[in-house]
A and B are shown apart, each in its own frame.
Chain A
Amino acid sequence: MDFDTLALSRFQFATTSIFHYFFVPFTVGFALFIALLQTLAFVRRSDDLERLTRFFGHLFFINFVVGVVTGIVQEFQFGMNWQSFSNFVGNIFGVPLALEVLMAFFLESTFLGLWWFGKDRLPAWVNLSFIWLVAIGTAVSAFWIVIANAWMQHPVGYVLHDGQAVLTSFWAVMTNPKGLEWSAHILTGAVTVAAFFVIAVSGYHIRRNHEVNLFKTSLRLGLVLAALGSGGVVVSGHIQGQSAVRDQPMKYAAFSALWDTPKEGNMSESLIALPSTAQGRNLFSLEVPYLGSFLAFNNLYQKAQGLNELQAMMVKQYGPGNYIPPVWPVYWAFRIMVGIGGVMLLTALWGLWLWRRGRLETAYGYLTFLLIMPLAPHLANFSGFITTEIGRQPWVVQGLLLTRNAVSPLPLLYVVLSLIAFWVVYLLLIGLDVFLLTRTARAGMHPPEVQAASAPAPDYTLGSAPVRLEGNGHE
């Protein structure tokens, strides 16, 4: 196998996944937020809240479609660039993917259209149920993808037969502990992405004194979700770290930069390190004694195995080769992810505290700070992706299939050209998404004649509610 086809196929898969993952958590979390907001509007019979729902729904719509189109690429890539992988795991891996389509994609695409275009044709409670179906669909979709990925990290419910992994228990695949932990992490992460976007947009309009009474509601709802989301991310992340010690010790050792198994009974935790792959040790490491044991095992006297010892064990088990993942990116990505998780939780708690003090809507410094926060969960997701996906290399299916044996026999030129094409298109998409989201979010709510849109023209004026015009939204 040509090494370059492998390297570029890996790069293509990694980057198209990361680009895709820029939109997906936003869609998953945002659907839940909108469903909650519309429920509030329905229960209170508030036309104003209904208008607010339409406003955020417009933003959701813009983002949703980019998530959809980048998602198709993900599915086709398995066959296009990873033929041997598809052959090896199709029996198992294909099932959650097919289930995702059957249980989620049809649901989302059909009921999102019904929700958005059909709001005047059906009763309000029916319309409300549509957005809940969309929200459920997005979560179900995330669940199945995580289950598929979890199987690659922690294969269960299979036997090997004729060079293929053959399914023996779908129940085991579905209840893979790794998959359940990750689902919790991914779903709370998605809530966080949406929540920080919502509170930034709401804070912006409150600062500009635009529809303050309305945006106050979304700010508060967003803050509650931000606190629950980032709290959930921290807790589920911690649980995952502890299970990594057991089922992917190499990954754990890599993100801890733990080269040698500690001689003492306990384990310290490195805060800052300069790992050196060439020398198999850290050139520098600032460590807190006992903290490693505490984080990994909830006690002060247990230790994990180091990279060098694990490498020796794997050589014995699987034959000669290098089984240590690239330590540097994994170690630092992990620390960035954890750090941002902390910042997000503190930001959410700070907001709740301001709310309790009755100062939330006038805390202009805090509201300004919120404007940069939508970037934080995305950066954390990116780092988390690096940690978990580079951390399991050189395996594509842990212990069963090496990444280099999974790739398609493709001419290098094909991969080069498709890689360039995907990059150009995806960069354009991200640019357009950010441009349109910012533009629509800043414009706020306007009567239909000011909105340029045609078919899905968002009409934020419902009922007889008076609408204030603030500029033309194109400043």
Chain B
Amino acid sequence: MSEAVLWFWLVTACFAVYFFLEGFDFGVDLLRPFLAKNEAERRALIQTIGPFWDGNEVWVILAAGAIFATFPAWYGALLTGMYPLFTLILLALIGRGVAFEFRAQVDSRAWRIFWDVTSFAGSLIPAFAWGLIMAALVQGLPIGEGGRYQGSVLSYVTPFTLFGGLTTTLLFMLHGATFLLLRLHKQGELHARARRAALFWGALATAAVLGFVYLGYVRDELFKNFGLGSWVLPGLAALTLAGIWLSLRLARDGLSFAMSGLTIVLSVVTVFLGLFPNVLPSTLSPSFNLTISNAASQPYTLHLMTIVGAVFLPLIVGYQAWNYYVFRRRIAVDDKKAGAAH
């Protein structure tokens, strides 16, 4: 395997880890209005992701940085081509990030409502937009000579990509719900509500995934370069999605979370497997396709990045895992605060 191919899969891994991790913190944000009935419950929900969201978010910065260093042509074409979407994502992530910290700084109901709305929108927009972007990657963009984007905003807004956005949003809500099953106190009322939410949003997520599969695989034949062997991963994703139902029925919280996480990871890998060996297919002509080989950096840069990645990635995974271990204690709703700030 050449180092360019290695970096293609490392970029895939960054996105997979990013959607796995930030997927549940987006999900918790999106579920909050449905699950929390008072201020104490809202706080408990925020606490479940408090020490984690910032570290989760760094994975997308790493994904972008890795693309920049190892596939510069891909970086420019992707971000310029989908400029409006990335602008929205950035604005949403800004609002969301400050919402967590600023919300608690002023004791006023209007202030908190403002930040709650901000963080909800700040999670909804990227959750949807990332799905749209992933679907658009599969579908291809009107890329012309030299990676110049030659379409309009509407070029990547199709039923398929919109369904992609809907699918990630619902999958993240399901993933958020299974994360809450792990993080909330088991005897609490909120925990019971999270279980019901997992069932409800899980059903919708399953429907969305089926719709996405129908549009992409069956109607548009977008994954036509899939051989029989390549169907293993999407097949596994379908199995894990079904596995969530079983584990929810058995009340196995850890298993439910693992299943929703695996569904996300396998879906991301499926998308990139569908792309391979392209990084950005052109809908205008295959000769304009950005491929792993024509978009990659020079060998020296790739090699340097491989060494650096080999040193730091295990370290990062190690201390992030430890972070989750330190804050493993389940969160209980603080009833003393329920009335006070309501």
Contact = CB atoms under 8 A, between A and B. Distances in A.
A79 B55 contact: no
Contacts of A453: 104-105
A14 interface: no
B52 interface: yes
A113 B51 contact: yes
A447 interface: no
A398 to B, nearest CB: 19
Contact of B94 (A69, A88, A111, A168): A69
Interface in A60-80: 61-62, 65-66, 68-70, 72-73, 75-76, 78-80
B305 interface: yes
Contacts of A164: 72, 298
Contacts of B79: 76, 78-80, 83, 86
Given A92-B301, A102-B309, A110-B320, A87 B147 contact: yes
B34 interface: no
A263 interface: no
Contacts of B62: 98, 101-102, 105-106
A61 B91 contact: no
A66 B98 contact: yes
A452 interface: yes
Contacts of A168: 300
Contacts of A100: 65
B265 interface: no
B277 interface: no
A94 interface: yes
A68 B97 contact: yes
Contact of A161 (B47, B87, B298, B323): B298
A46 to B, nearest CB: 25
A89 B72 contact: yes
A452 B65 contact: no
Q: Which secondary structure dominates chain B's binding surface?
A: helix
A78 to B, nearest CB: 7
Given A98-B69, A110-B319, A455 B147 contact: no
Given A117-B51, A453-B105, A455-B47, A102 B316 contact: yes
B64 interface: yes
Interface string A449-463: 000111111000000
Contact of A84 (B76, B83, B86, B87): B76
Nearest to A418: B87
Interface stretch (A175-183, A284-292, A406-414): A406-414
Given A90-B297, A167-B300, A167-B304, A114 B309 contact: no
Interface in B299-342: 300-301, 304-305, 308-309, 312-313, 316, 319-320, 323, 326-327, 337
B69 A94 contact: yes
Interface residues of A, number: 75
B57 interface: yes
A383 B325 CA distance: 45
Contacts of A78: 68, 75, 79
B75 A73 contact: no
Nearest to A70: B94
A457 B104 contact: yes
B77 interface: yes
Contact of A83 (B43, B80, B91, B298): B80
A417 B50 CA distance: 32
A80 B83 contact: yes
A92 B304 CA distance: 11
Contacts of A248: none
A454 B43 contact: yes
B305 A418 contact: no
Given A102-B309, A102-B316, A454-B43, A86 B75 contact: yes
B312 A103 contact: yes
A422 B79 CA distance: 17
B98 A110 contact: no
A109 interface: yes
A92 B130 CA distance: 28
A425 B90 CA distance: 11
A95 B304 contact: yes
B54 A68 contact: yes
Interface in A281-328: none
Which residue, A68, A94, A409, has most C-beta atoms of chain B within 10 A?
Answer: A94
Minimum-distance CB pairs A-B, first 7: A90-B72, A452-B107, A94-B69, A79-B79, A83-B76, A94-B68, A86-B76
5 contacts: A69-B93, A69-B94, A93-B68, A100-B65, A117-B51
Interface of A: 61-62, 65-66, 68-70, 72-73, 75-76, 78-95, 97-103, 105-107, 109-114, 117-118, 121-122, 161, 164, 166-168, 170, 408-410, 414, 417-418, 421-422, 425, 429, 432, 436, 439-440, 452-457
